[in-house]
Structure formats: structure tokens, C-alpha cells
Amino acid sequence: MQSIIHKIISKEEQYLSDLDTVHNVFIKGLHIAHPAVMTPLVLEEFIDEIFSNILEVRECHRRLLEVMYVRQREQAPVIQSVGDIFLDAATEFRSVYPNYVGRWPMAEKRLKEEIEQNSEFRLFLEVMFLKFLFWFGN
């Protein structure tokens, strides 16, 4: 049981790191891209369509991980239970995940269109991909 709980914490840390990467590399990167890949108004609409409420999702997972850390500190070395933590998290996830997941088909369509029609955006993605490979590939 302990190894499963520690694995859950580890996976949650990784997922939160992935969400942070999306925010820091792509969302912030689109805002500071030079040359700009879209006009500011179009960019905000694009980010909303593509990433939806990913920042809310990230905060839900950040809170879940913090509660897991608190439980780990309070009950070390043997964590007695975590079910209550996940029941609380499930309540919060129910309010953010339907919007996040429900918009994936629309986001995928919009992303595809932008890649096909916007050469600056396509170049941005290529550069970010290469940077990502450099940062995490070494």
C-alpha cells in the first residue's frame, strides 16, 4: 500500500510538472513570441480555445498534491489512508474537468487550422519543439 501511495504522489508531481510546462513554454511562450504569431485579441481567443481552463486544472492538482504532502508529513512513515483526500479532490475535479475535456475536439480542430493557415505559428511550434528536445533530451 505504501508503495502505491508514493507512486501516486510521484505521478501527481509529474502531471503537475507537465501542466507547468504547458503553461510556461506554450502559453507564456505565445505571449512573448517575437515576432508575434497572432494579434493580441486573436491570441487570447486562441489560448482560450486551445487550453481552455488548464490553469484551473493545474491548481486543482496543485492542491491535491499539497494535501498529499501534508498527509505524508503527518502520518510518516506509514500513511494510513488517502481515500478521503481523493473523495475531496473528485468533488473539485467534477467542476473543472468536464469543461477541460469537453473542449478537446474543438481545440484539436482549431489547432489544426492554425497550423495549416499560420506560418508564424507553425514556426513557433517547431522552435518550441526543438527547445523542448534540447531541454529534456539531454
Q: Is residue 48 part of a domain?
A: yes
Q: Is residue 47 part of a domain?
A: yes
Residue 106, domain CATH: 1.20.900.10
Any domain includes 133? no
Any domain includes 28: yes
SS percent in the chain: helix, strand, coil, step 5: 85, 0, 15
pTM, rounded to two decimals: 0.86
| Domain coverage including residue 104 | 2-117
Decide if 19 contacts 73 (C-beta within 8 A): no
Question: Is 23 a member of any domain?
Answer: yes
Condensed to tens digits (0 to 9), the pLDDT of residues 8-43 reads 999 999 999 999 989 998 999 999 999 999 999 999
Low-confidence stretches of the chain (pLDDT < 70) are: 136-138
Number of domains, the chain: 1
Is residue 124 one of the residues assigned to a domain?
A: no
60 assigned to some structural domain: yes
- The distance of Cα 53 from the centroid of its chain, to the nearest Å, equals 9
Q: For position 130, what pLDDT does the model report?
A: 85
